[in-house]
Amino acid sequence: MGPEQRHIPTRTCVICRNRREKDVLFRIVRTPEGDIVFDKTGKLNGRGAYVCKDDDHWDDDVYRGKLQAALKIEIDDLAFKLLGRSIVSDVTSRKLSERN
């Protein structure tokens, strides 16, 4: 018998509709209070949507529309820009920590 294989959770990107492993996607959450936040841990309470980490379309209205549909909430311009900045900031800090 071979080594036991672990289950690897997969999720669907709400933008491109591709199924990928959970750890290669970003999770965006609509909290019970109605806030839209980037979930670094993947464990925040609320309605979640997954997007590919390689998507770079934070100024795209189609991107925002698909995210709004998945989270079932309107996302205003400011919230959308702040969300994009928090994701870019996280990506940048991860790249810097990988270099060290």
Query: Can you give the pLDDT at residue 1?
Result: 47
* Residue 54: inside a domain: yes
**Domain assignment of residue 23, given as a range:** 10-99
- Please count the CA atoms within 13 angstroms of the CA of 10 that sit on its side-chain side: 6
Q: How many domains does the chain have?
A: 1
- Per-residue pLDDT tens over the stretch 59-97: 688 889 999 999 999 999 999 999 988 888 888 888 888
Q: For residues 64 and 77, what is the distance between their CA atoms, to the nearest angstrom?
A: 9
Name 82's Cβ contacts closer than 8 Å, sequence gap at least 6: none
* Residue 86: inside a domain: yes
Neighbours of 51 (CB within 10 A): 23
Structure tokens at 13: 């990107």
- Per-residue pLDDT tens over the stretch 6-47: 899 999 999 999 999 999 999 999 999 999 999 999 999 999
Q: What is the CATH number of the domain that holds 36?
A: 3.30.1230.10
